[in-house]
Structure 1
Amino acid sequence: MGTTVFGKGAWLFVPGILCFLTSAPVFAETQKLALPQVIEISLQNNGDLKSFREEKGIRDAGKNRAGLLPNPTLELNGGTGALTGSSAENSLSLGISQEFLLAGKRHKRLVIAEQELAAYRWQLADRERALREEVKMAFYDAILAEQRLNLTDRSIALNRQLLDVTKERLAAGDIPELEMNLVKVELTRSEGTRIEVERALLQNRARLFTLMGLPAIESPAIAGNLDNDLPTAKSLVDLKQLALVKRPDLKVLEAEKSKGEADIALAKSEAIPNLTAGFTVTREATTIEVGGVEGKDTDYIVGVKLSIPIPVFDKNQAGIQEARAKRSTTDSRFTAATRRAEREVETAHASYLNADKILSLYKSNIIPQLEENLKLTQEAYRLGEVGILAVIQEQKKFFESNEAYLTALHSRQLALTKLEAAVGVSFD
C-alpha cells in the first residue's frame, strides 16, 4: 500500500520537474537576438551602467540639501546668586535664533544642484553611447566569427567533394595516389582551421554576453549579417555640425559651463553675510532690602537680537577667484573637446569611405571572378585537363579572398559604428 502511494506521488512530481525545466529562460531555444535587441538588453543589464544609474540618488540628495534652510538655534541660559551669598537672586533666559540667507543664496545653490543633475544625465547618456559602440563592435566580431565558420564549413565540403572525385579517378586509374593524399591533407587543414575559428567564436560571444550582463548559464543565439548598406547621405560638414549638437560628452561640458556661471554668482553672494535674528524671554528674580525688610521682585524681559558679520577683511575674494578659475578651466576643456570631436568625425568618416571603396572592389570584381575561376578549374580537373595542384591552389585563393571579403565587410561595419559614436547618432 505504501509503495503504491509513493509511486503515485512520484508520478505527480515528475511533471512538475519537467514543467520547471521547460520554463527556464533559455534564449538559444526560443529566439535569436538581433542587434537592436542586443543593445537594449545591454543598456538594461550592463553592470557598470547599472551602478552608474544608482548614483542619481547622490545628485538628488545634493539638490535636496541645497534647498534646505539653516536649522534654528535654541538657547537656554540660567544664573544664580547662591555662590555669592544672594541665594534668592536668580535668572532664567530662553531664546531661539534663526539664520536668514541673504542675496538669494538658497536659490543659487539650487541652480548649481540642478546643473550638476543635468551634467549627470548627460554623463549617463555618454556612457550609454560608449556602451552602444562597444556592444556593436562585439556583436559584429561575433557575426564575423560565425560567417568565417560557415566559410570554413564550405571549404570542408568542397574538399570532401574533391576527395570523392579523386577516389573515383584513382579507381579508374587516371591519377596517382599522391593526388588523393594531397586532397586529404587539405581536408585535414580545413578541419583544423574550423576548430580555431570555432574557438574565436566562443570567445567573441562570451565577450558580447558579458557586455549584455547575462548570467553564465545564458547563451542566446544572435542573428545578423555584415552586409548592411547604410549610406550616410550627410556631408562631412553636416556630420561635424551634428556632432557638436548631439554628442553627450559636449553636453556634459556645456552643463559644467552653466554650473561655473552659477558658482561665480553664488561666490559673489557669499560676500554678503547672512543675518541672524533671535527672540529671547528672560525671567529675573531679585531681592531688595528696605529698612531691614527684605523684599523679592520678579521681572520678565522680552528681547530681540539681530546680528550680522561685518565684511571688512573677508569678502570671499578667494571663493570668487576659485569659481572664476574653474569656469575658465571648463571653457578650455570645452574648446579642446569640440576640436577633438571634429577630428574624430573626420577620421571616422574617412575610414568609412576607405572601407566602402575596398568592399566595392571585392563585390564588383574579385569575388564574382573567383567564383567563375573555381568552377572552371573544378570542371577542368574532372575532365583531366588540369592537375590537382591547380585545383588546390584555386580553392586556396578562393577561400582566402572570401575571408578577406568578410574582413572588409567587418571593417566597414566597425568604421560605421565609430562614425556613429563620433557623431553621437545612429544611422539605422
Structure 2
Amino acid sequence: MATNSFRGVRQAVAVALSLLAAVPVFAEPQPLSLQQAVTAALDNNPELIALRKEAGVFDAAAVRAGVIPNPTLELEAATGALTGSSDDSNLSLGISQEFLLGEKRLKRRTVAERDLAGYRWQVADRERAVREQVQAAYCDVLLAQERVGLARHSIELNKQLLQVAVDRLAAGDIPELEMYLVRVELVRSEGNLIELQRSLLDSRAKLFALMALPPTASPVLGGTLNGNDVRVQAVGDLKQAAMQNRPDLKALHAAMQKSDAEVALAEAEGVPNLTAGIALSRDTSSMEIGGVEGRETSYTIGLKLSMPIPVFDRNQAGQQEARAKRSSAEIRLQGAAVSVEREVESAHASLANAEKVLSLYRSDILRQLGENLKLTQEAYRLGEVGILAVIEEQKKYFEVSDSYLAALHARQIALNKLESAVAADINGGAQ
C-alpha cells in the first residue's frame, strides 16, 4: 500500500510539473531606451513623414526637366468652291519638331537634381531638430521620475520621523506641537509628490507625442541621468566638424549650386530653339484646253526650318533674376556659417558651465548630507536636539539632492545641444 501511495504521489507531482511547463510565460516589456525613442520619432513623426513624401515632387521635376518637346502635327486644307473654282483644292499634311539648343535639357536636369539634393538635406536637418527635441523630452521625463522618487523618499523619512515623535509624545518627552509640526511636513511632502507626479505625466505626454505613439501606449523609460564625465573636443575642432556635418549648411550649399545651375540655364535660354518640319502637299487644279476640261493633281514634299531672331529678347530678365538669386544664396550660406560657429561656441560654453556646477556635487557632499541627516534624526530620537533641527536638516538634504538632479539634467541637455550643433555624436554613444 505504501508503495502504491508513493507511486501515486510521484505521478501527481509529474502531472503538476507538466501542467506548469505548459503554461505560457510572457516576457516583461523591455524599457524604452533613448535610442529607441529617437528611432520611433524619426519613423513615426507625421511632419517628417509628410516631408519625406514630397520627394515625389522633386522626382517629378527631374523627369519633367529631361522630357523632349512633343512633335507638332499640322494639317491644312484649301478649296476654291467659295471663289468659283470648285475643282481647285489643296491638302497639306506635315509634322514639325522643336530642337532645344544650348544644352537646355541637360541644364534643366542639373537644376532639378540640385534642387532634389537640397531637399534631402532639408529633410536631414529636420530629423536633426526632431532628434534634439526627443532627447530633451526624454531627459525631462528622467528628471521628473527622479524627482518623484526623491519625493517618495521624503515621505518615507517624514513617516519615520512622525512615528518617533508619536513615541516620544507618548513617553512625555515632547510637547504635542512637535508632533503637529512633523505632520505638517508629511502633508507638505505628500502634496509635493502629487505635483511632481502631474509634472511627470505632462513630460511623458510630450515625449510620446513627439514619438507619435498611440494614446494607449505608455512604455517605461529605462535610462537614467548619467553623472559620468564627458569627454569633449576643443571648440575649434567642434566648429570644423559642424561645418562638415551640419545638414542645414549643406542644404544652403546645394541651394547655391542650384543658383549656379539656374544662371547657366538662364544664359542658355537666351539661345533660340530650332523648329524643323516636313510636309506633304497635294494640289488639285482644273484647266481647259481646246474646249476640253481636265484636272491636274501634283504632289510636293517640303522642308521647313524656323528659329526666332534674338533681336529684342535674349532672356536678359531671366539672367538678371538668376544672378540675384545666386547672390542671395551666397549671403545666406555665409550668414548661416557664422551662426553655426556661434551656436557651437554657446553650446560648448553651456556644457562647460554645467560640468562646473556638477563638479560641486562630486566632492561627497551628498553622502555627507545623508550622514548628517541620519545623525540628526538619531539625536532627536535620543532627545539631544529639537524637531526644528531635524526638519531643517531634511529640507537641506532634499534641496541639495534636487539641485544635483537639476545639474545632471542641465549637463545632459547641454550635451544634447552641443551634439545637435555639431550634428554628430561627440560622446562615443554614451547618451
Q: 1:33-73 CA distances to partner (integer Å, 9 max, x unpaired)?
A: 00000000000001111110111111111111101011111
Q: How does 1:406-417 map to 2 (within 5 A)?
A: 406-417=405-416
2:391 match: secondary structure:
helix
**What is the alpha-carbon distance in structure 1 between the residues aligned to residue 289 and residue 365 of structure 2?**
127
> Residue 34 of structure 1 corresponds to which residue in structure 2?
33
1:282 match: secondary structure:
strand
> Residue 293 of structure 1 corresponds to which residue in structure 2?
292
Counterpart residue type for residue 317 of structure 2:
A
Counterpart residue type for residue 272 of structure 1:
V
Counterpart residue type for residue 264 of structure 1:
V
Counterpart residue type for residue 62 of structure 2:
K
Q: 1:180-237 CA distances to partner (integer Å, 9 max, x unpaired)?
A: 1111110010000000000000011001100001111111111111125362331000
> Residue 126 of structure 1 corresponds to which residue in structure 2?
125
Counterpart residue type for residue 172 of structure 1:
A
Number of equivalent positions:
403
Moved over 2 A (4+): none
> Residue 48 of structure 2 corresponds to which residue in structure 1?
49
> Residue 11 of structure 1 corresponds to which residue in structure 2?
none
1:293 CA displacement: 1.3
Q: How does 1:131-150 map to 2 (within 5 A)?
A: 131-150=130-149
- Alignment partner of 1:319 is 2:307: no
Q: 1:100-137 CA distances to partner (integer Å, 9 max, x unpaired)?
A: 11111101111111101100110000000000000110
Counterpart residue type for residue 117 of structure 1:
L
**What is the alpha-carbon distance in structure 2 between the residues aligned to residue 176 and residue 163 of structure 1?**
13
Q: Which runs of 5+ in 1 are unaligned?
A: 1-21
Q: Say if 1:96 and 1:388 are closer, same or farther in 2 by CA, change over 3 A.
A: same
1:168 CA displacement: 1.6
> Residue 422 of structure 1 corresponds to which residue in structure 2?
421
**What is the alpha-carbon distance in structure 1 between the residues aligned to residue 230 and residue 300 of structure 2?**
85
Q: TM-score, length-normalised on structure 1? A: 0.92
**What is the alpha-carbon distance in structure 2 between the residues aligned to residue 77 and residue 426 of structure 1?**
71
Q: 1:309-330 CA distances to partner (integer Å, 9 max, x unpaired)?
A: 1111111111111111100000
Q: How does 1:226-245 map to 2 (within 5 A)?
A: 226-229=225-228, 231-245=230-244
1:214 match: secondary structure:
coil
**What is the alpha-carbon distance in structure 2 between the residues aligned to residue 392 and residue 53 of structure 1?**
57
**What is the alpha-carbon distance in structure 2 between the residues aligned to residue 204 and residue 235 of structure 1?**
33
**What is the alpha-carbon distance in structure 2 between the residues aligned to residue 45 and residue 284 of structure 1?**
70
2:363 match: secondary structure:
helix
- Alignment partner of 1:113 is 2:116: no
**What is the alpha-carbon distance in structure 2 between the residues aligned to residue 90 and residue 352 of structure 1?**
90
Q: 1:341-374 CA distances to partner (integer Å, 9 max, x unpaired)?
A: 0000000000000001101101225323212211
**What is the alpha-carbon distance in structure 1 between the residues aligned to residue 289 and residue 214 of structure 2?**
94
1:380 CA displacement: 1.2
Counterpart residue type for residue 186 of structure 1:
E
1:234 match: secondary structure:
coil
1:88 match: secondary structure:
strand
Q: Say if 1:309 and 1:228 are closer, same or farther in 2 by CA, change over 3 A.
A: farther
1:292 CA displacement: 1.7
**What is the alpha-carbon distance in structure 1 between the residues aligned to residue 219 and residue 318 of structure 2?**
56
> Residue 14 of structure 2 corresponds to which residue in structure 1?
none
1:163 match: secondary structure:
helix
**What is the alpha-carbon distance in structure 2 between the residues aligned to residue 228 and residue 270 of structure 1?**
62
2:79 match: secondary structure:
strand
1:375 CA displacement: 1.5
2:35 match: secondary structure:
helix
Return 174-183 or 96-105, whichever deviates more: 174-183
> Residue 387 of structure 2 corresponds to which residue in structure 1?
388
**What is the alpha-carbon distance in structure 1 between the residues aligned to residue 141 and residue 238 of structure 2?**
29
1:222 match: secondary structure:
coil
2:424 match: secondary structure:
coil
> Residue 304 of structure 1 corresponds to which residue in structure 2?
303
**What is the alpha-carbon distance in structure 1 between the residues aligned to residue 286 and residue 317 of structure 2?**
55
> Residue 365 of structure 2 corresponds to which residue in structure 1?
366
**What is the alpha-carbon distance in structure 1 between the residues aligned to residue 288 and residue 214 of structure 2?**
91
Counterpart residue type for residue 165 of structure 1:
V
- Alignment partner of 1:220 is 2:219: yes
**What is the alpha-carbon distance in structure 1 between the residues aligned to residue 95 and residue 198 of structure 2?**
76
**What is the alpha-carbon distance in structure 2 between the residues aligned to residue 268 and residue 124 of structure 1?**
31
**What is the alpha-carbon distance in structure 2 between the residues aligned to residue 271 and residue 255 of structure 1?**
25
Using the aligned pairs only, state the percent identity: 58
2:299 match: secondary structure:
strand
Q: TM-score, length-normalised on structure 2? A: 0.91
1:384 CA displacement: 1.2
> Residue 12 of structure 1 corresponds to which residue in structure 2?
none
1:178 CA displacement: 1.4
**What is the alpha-carbon distance in structure 1 between the residues aligned to residue 220 and residue 86 of structure 2?**
92
**Superposed CA RMSD:** 1.5
**What is the alpha-carbon distance in structure 2 between the residues aligned to residue 345 and residue 232 of structure 1?**
16
Q: Say if 1:233 and 1:348 are closer, same or farther in 2 by CA, change over 3 A.
A: closer
> Residue 327 of structure 2 corresponds to which residue in structure 1?
328
Q: Which runs of 5+ in 2 are unaligned?
A: 1-23
**What is the alpha-carbon distance in structure 2 between the residues aligned to residue 230 and residue 253 of structure 1?**
36
